[in-house]
Chain A
Amino acid sequence: MKFPKIHFDDMKNEGTGSVTAHERRKFLKLGLAVAGVYAGGKILSLTSIVGTAHASSGISIVKKYPYNPHYSMVIRQSLCIDCEKCVDACNEINNVPEYGYRTRILTKKYTGSLDKQVEFIPVLCNHCNNAPCVRACPTKATYKDPVTGIVRMESKKCIGCKTCMLACPYDARYFSAERRAIDKCDFCWDERLSKGDTQTGCSAACPTGARTFGNLTDPDNIVYKLIHQLEEQIWVIRPADDTKPNVFYMKGNMRSVDNILNEQKFKYFDPNKS
């Protein structure tokens, strides 16, 4: 198979909108299931070779994800109604003190647009694959879990220098006086996942399905499906910081949600046609 050449450096870093359909095809031909996601977040919706032709080679693609299970969250932004049930659930499950938070909902207002006036953006730790907080910590008190890729804390090592708070481009960390250490989202590893749960507190509490959580290496998992579909664009926040986040965002209108939940067929791209 002859690989088409892609000039990464020539591609514009302006979100997925700037990537042409032609470039997407080239990507998919490469079988860059993962490379797309990890190339700095600029070509995020180009990750799919799932579906028809490459279903059989799924395993080899899966292997390329650096963790297994590779936990990830896909936020379907337009489904969020700012009920903050996720925030409440998080606070309760993880004993977050009232001066802190692990996740929150930001509000974006649009003026001059006909349909939507406001949009809510849930934010949390992105469990970056290239985590600035992990590099910055002098004592390895915060680290990337070698199995799951979750960025966790070993509280007893935290000296409280707060460098990681400044290193994090997502404001995901705060100092917890109760723990005498930095506290942050751990995808509910301590309180839920390690006890056998498959959902985080927030994703389980979300009434609209705006937060979907799962394993990116499992083709049957919803986050896998959302990330690897071709219809809608996916992006990450602050892609220029090159942190390679594991929290992805998409608009997620009802039609595509239905599609995914009802396992309806997608317009998958067929790499054998061009």
Chain B
Amino acid sequence: MQELIPFQEQFFEALTRQDVQGGLTVVQAAVDAGFPAKAVLLHVTIPALDRIGLMQANNEIALSQVFVVARIVDMAIERLNRLMSFRVITTLDERPSLGTVILGSAPGDYHSLGRKIVGTFLKLGGFKAIDLGINVPAARFVDTAVREEAKVICVSALLLHTAEEIKEIRALLRERSLEAQIKLVVGGAVFNADPELYRAVGADATAVNAHSAVTVLKQLVGGMP
């Protein structure tokens, strides 16, 4: 979709300027120019967000910028979704969905910004992400994963004592012999402060930001890069 590259460039620029209206105008202009909503999502919104993700990975942007970008992207997706036949994004390209992921904040943890951003990236990365919100009890993570046939449970924790609660999820997976089919991935500021901590709480993997969360999950569920 070469023709969409200029739109992608403009959308990316609007994101870096944190220009909500500008971003939405670019998306609308691409649709008005006759491109299908799905193509706009695939070739304008997602690559631009990817580039922002890389900047975040390199510590080039602040939380305020990530916050506004996530909002612009959410609004753009909502508009494009309305133009498409399906409401919830599961897969965005011709490949089948990469699978279901259960996402939530650890028991006792009320931080939600990072988790929501991870959710947006996972959806755009091709996963069906079910977000259970803040302060999710260990059993609810596991029960929902079983019911939804999820391949991964993703837990966000920013505090040490809530990170410790993740051990309970590992214990439940073990008790119910689910360890082979359900992987446990964790993230949040506290895991970035201590790169060893994820192992101590019984997780299979961690990722330092939303962008690498997608890479890590792809590797974990399908050996994909």
A-B interaction: no
